[in-house]
Amino acid sequence: MTPEEKEQLKKALLTGGMTAPLCWYRAALEGVTTEDDTQISPEATQVKQPLLFVAFTGDILALPMIGDSIHAQYAKGPVTRKEIGGDHWGAESHAEELNAILLEWIQGLDS
């Protein structure tokens, strides 16, 4: 991520505030969707399609082991797991590496 891109992201977050971006976390912690979640059939929670999980090993918020645990529970199709040394913003800071992994994975689906 270039210094200009970092500044643009910083400006967007500081200008708009953190209320909206934090709503997802607040809803999860307060159990806002718990009742709705009970109406989803167990069958509907199973991911049977191929899944690519790219773990950012420096991410201290979305820990790779949490993703692994969730995929073990819900992914019933083939899972491809790759690691990149990025942090929580790894999709931006390591975009080229991530895109290469994604392209290789997508091309492998046709094989």
Do 24 and 3 belong together in one domain? yes
Do 34 and 46 belong together in one domain? no
Which residue's structure tokens are 């529970």? 73
The mean pLDDT value for 70-97 works out to: 95
What predicted TM-score, i.e. pTM, was given to this entire model?
0.73
- Which residues have CB under 8 Å from 88's CB, separation 6+? 56, 59, 60, 61, 62
Do 61 and 20 belong together in one domain? no
Do 61 and 15 belong together in one domain? no
pLDDT exceeds 70 at position 1: no
Tokens of 77: 């199709």
Range of the domain at 60: 41-111
Do 69 and 26 belong together in one domain? no
pLDDT tens digit sequence for 31-61? 998 899 899 999 999 999 999 999 999 998 8
Tokens of 6: 């970092």
Do 31 and 72 belong together in one domain? no
The mean pLDDT value for 60-77 works out to: 94
Do 47 and 89 belong together in one domain? yes
Which residue's structure tokens are 């073990």? 72
Do 98 and 56 belong together in one domain? yes
Do 33 and 67 belong together in one domain? no
pLDDT exceeds 70 at position 111: no
Domain count of the fold of the chain: 2
The DSSP line for 38-71 is TTS-GGGG-B-S-EEEEEETT-SSS-HHHHHHHH
| More confidently predicted of 109 and 9 | 109
